[in-house]
Structure 1
Amino acid sequence: MKRLFIPLIALFAIALAQNGENVHKELVLTDRIINRARPVIEQSSNGDAQKLFAQAEAVQTNAWDLFKQHRYMLALRKTGWARKLVERALKLAKFDPRRVEEEVRRTAEIMNEAGPVIIRSEIPKALELWRVAKGEQETSRRAFENKYFLLALKFTMAARVHTRTAFGIVRRKGNPDRVQKEVERTKELLDKAAEQTKLVSDDRVHELLHRANDWQDQAVVALRAGQLPRALKFTFSARDLLLRVWRMVRGPANPELVEQALAETDRLVEQWADAIRQQSSKEALDMLERALEHQTKAQEHFGQRKLQPALQETSLARRLLNRAVELVESEEVLPDKNPNEENPGKH
């Protein structure tokens, strides 16, 4: 039955086109559709809708010309196309410009946040994508001002994609020097621990040190491969094991151990806080603020000689900082995507 359906439609269209009176009725019906749509289109502020409607009127005029020439099949096709254009124009006329305005504004926010990072990177590919994105956003802004809303939406979304891509290039490149300093810092701490635990007879201490050195070796391999987040993860994990070593050797509430732990957390804050604030996601910023709160509590406890609570608080602060730092060196952390961003034309 389905195989017969399409040929039957084609035969009906041919028969209709061969009958000038029937084609005339279709043309008149299209005129009525156009006339009913005209007030809606004229009252609309949507330039795209008005442009499509003008195209529909031109196609309909051409359909009438073809009809007068007794070219009924072509006239029928043209008037059908004119109706489709009117239908599209009406849909656009109901398109909410406020939605497009919101998308243009959102892209501007993303570009304002990402721009300084991209420019400072001086990475040619990222800078070229940034130049393209700026041009697209400016085109979008002008299109919106001239009420070409679909065009504005198209260009602002393109600008957003190019900005995110440029930002991703910068983030993947990361900051090898800062990461290398962290890996070197862990090496210093491990060497110091190896020297000071030579005479310790507890096999568990040496097992932990061995594991810490294994993780540090993996950090070095990752650093050489340019895998900065992985390098940070392994070197920070090695330090966590090292802290367990010192707890076993010196005891959990040793003043020297707590003071060293506090100093190490302070060093991480000094080294990374600005980078987290300037370049990071809300998640990383929240981690930084929580880390600072825990570190403040740790210092208060230490001042009151409450060594165990001080060590617990600074350990929490350090773990939060470690995670935030890993986020800084990981891929894109631009503002979270709008749920509708993948298909902004839908309402």
Structure 2
Amino acid sequence: MSKDSGTPTYVEPGEEFDRDMNYIPDRITAEPGRSRDPHDPAARDGALEVATWPIEPGRYRLVAAQACPWANRSIIVRRLLGLEDVLSLGTPGPVHDDRSWTFDLDEGDRDPVLGIERLQEAYFERDPDYPRGITVPALVEVESGKVVTNDFPSITHDLFFEWRDHHRPGAPDLWPEDVREEMEEVMQRVFTEVNNGVYRCGFAGSQASYDAAFDRLWAALDWLEERLTDRRYLMGDVITEADIRLFTTLVRFDAVYHGHFKCNRQRLTEMPALWGYARDLFQTPGFGETIDFEQIKAHYYVVHSDVNPTGIVPRGPEPDWWDSPHGREALGGTPIEAW
């Protein structure tokens, strides 16, 4: 079974898609065994119930394919927080086989820092019998070559809370305290119904499971369309982690999910609030520059051979649309400025 950041590329006929959320739970924290986030669900009285690794500039490498929406989150957060000088980035190519993501974009087909051809090597360095999918994003310890964690929600969470001593001046507050409780609820709904919802449609193993997934996805997108009609960002006036998590699905919607995953009630471009919102984020520093539509399309249309057996990659849609005026300034808010 091949995996795309934990996603099987086939589902047995008649089955409903169920994402495997079992990841390596280790964390990289500022203080060993403790979390800086008082609301951290893994913490009890300030202590973490998982193995923790110390923060050291240059010690770790973030391996994150631009094609993958789950990895794309970490690339955006790293960029917004200004962590480029303390946490290096390795970018596998968009097309992988059943074994692993590969570094075919790099000279000699090897990651220039880790010296490996396949991300699989870092997983096997930690556990020669690693039984699960070789997923991105992954944080790898450079010296040992071992993967530390591939728990994608915790990676972006910890880049904000744990690495804050290394954030750039003026870095955005991606987890505002005053909206944190509601934000957690919004992010959970975005994850289950939208981020994962498009996969539930695309990998449905029966008409009934597809129909149910389709209805759930569009109920959530209609809710988001209404929510974003009179507010600039998901939580109001400022960009948060919730916006990053939604953006990486929206930016892939018309290019991939609408057709490839059969999420075709409407195109994103036909939903005024969501389309304007997505362009607003795309044109925000730290977002659009992380997007490579050719890599995104190559990944989905080539790797998912069960969904697209011909391997033909569509030429559209036109990427220049993303740079067109969005008009969201009329809603006010405080966008992230270039730094």
Into which bin does the TM-score normalised by the smaller protein fall? under 0.3
The TM-score with structure 2 as length reference comes to: 0.22
Higher relative contact order (CA 8 A, sep 6+): 2
Task: Determine which structure has the larger helix proportion and give its number.
Answer: 1
The TM-score with structure 1 as length reference comes to: 0.22
Larger Rg: 1
Task: Determine which structure has the larger strand proportion and give its number.
Answer: 2
